[in-house]
Amino acid sequence: MTSGTDPRTAPSWPDLPEVARDVLLEVLIHGAMPRAEIAARLHLSRPTLTRVTRTLVLNGLLVEGETQLRSSTGRPSEMLHVRGDSHHFLGVKLTADRLYAAVTDLTAQVVDTVDQPLRSTDPADVVAQIADVAATFPALTAIGVTLGGIVHHGEVAQAEFLGWVNVPLRDDLVAATAIPTAVDNDVQALTSAEHWFGAGAGLSSMVLITVGAGVGCGVIVDGKLVRGAHGLPPRLAHILVDPSGPLCGYGHRGCASSYLMTHVMLRQLDGTPSYEEAVGRALAGDPEARRVFDNAGYALGVLIGTAANFLDPQKVLLTGEGLALYEVSEGRVREGIGASFEADPALIDLDVQPFDFSEWARSGAALAIRATLTQNLPT
């Protein structure tokens, strides 16, 4: 962990007009490009774009770089880049017993990480611990915190694994750090991060599915994150796979979560193995482990096929700490897709993304970036 100055001295984010935010976002998501290309993409006049880019350059958010020939005709064009080091953001992912944190620049590139056990799950203690982490990094522009649960406007309405109900986490963190803060469901934040800075950058539609301790889903439609009327993220975990299957924790028989969650998989194996040990058994051909992983793989395929039926997305991203399931039982995943997807499975662009917990933390920083750019951050 690096030490630094008081984060309360962070550079303030400029009050940008909407058109300036649009220009910055275009370069942030799609990469460096010349002014003419930005103008064409956003349907802006040359004078307007010149005025806007001048503002962004003066505020240190864009920088002029090398020239490139962007077409077979015409002269080389000067490229505009996002100045990543102009601002830094802290992302935090909370689990039942650990705090994962990452500091990124404006382009969501990770510059430092932290991994700590939680001192306790008491909200005041968690706020103090996050504030202590933030205080070790210089000049943070904003903080983003993610966790599994239901979040409404920065308040954690429910987080079962932490035992929280109606915790005003965002307001408490702003009071403790004096840094603008955003709080959201972890899968929603990860979906947004992949849409802006990852494998879904620039797509107008995609589905993200996470597998691990839980089964999560995030959806992008028309370039926007889908949020339910009651603040709930999309839920696919209880889609029926086999009406004669096992019960899940909610008493649903044969739903996807009754096969897919790691603790459900492990309790079916002798010797109380860790997930890594169970993966090793399955790869070594242990019949019991193969059965558990193959059943879970088929359920995952049904989940993917059903999501593709519903949305017909440009891409389905698969990630999460339980991703080894796909490596073990890819064939059964494909069978599940084939059994549930109405059209040709070849139409599904399935993108399997490597994963570790630092990605959850990075998505918290991406949440802070997104909230900053959209001016959705209370101070």
pLDDT in tens, 99-120: 999 999 999 999 999 999 999 9
pTM equals: 0.90
| Percent of the chain predicted with pLDDT > 70 | 93
pLDDT mean by block of 10 residues, the chain; 379 residues: 42 89 93 91 93 94 77 68 95 96 96 96 98 94 95 93 96 96 95 93 94 92 88 84 86 90 91 94 96 96 95 95 93 96 94 87 96 76
pLDDT of residue 202: 85
pLDDT of residue 88: 97
pLDDT of residue 72: 47
Q: Please list the residues that pair with 150 across neighbouring strands.
A: 158
pLDDT of residue 69: 56
pLDDT of residue 99: 97
Contact 219, 210 (CB under 8 A): no
pLDDT of residue 246: 86
pLDDT of residue 87: 96
Spatial separation of the C-alpha atoms in residues 330 and 334, rounded to whole Å: 6
Spatial separation of the C-alpha atoms in residues 166 and 155, rounded to whole Å: 6
Beta strand ranges found along the chain (DSSP E): 33-34, 62-68, 77-82, 88-94, 98-105, 110-117, 140-147, 150-152, 155-159, 164-167, 181-185, 206-211, 215-221, 224-225, 315-319, 350-352
pLDDT of residue 11: 64
Strand order in the sheet with 77-82: 33-34, 77-82, 62-68
pLDDT of residue 251: 85
Backbone angles phi, psi at 342, to 5 degrees: -70, -35
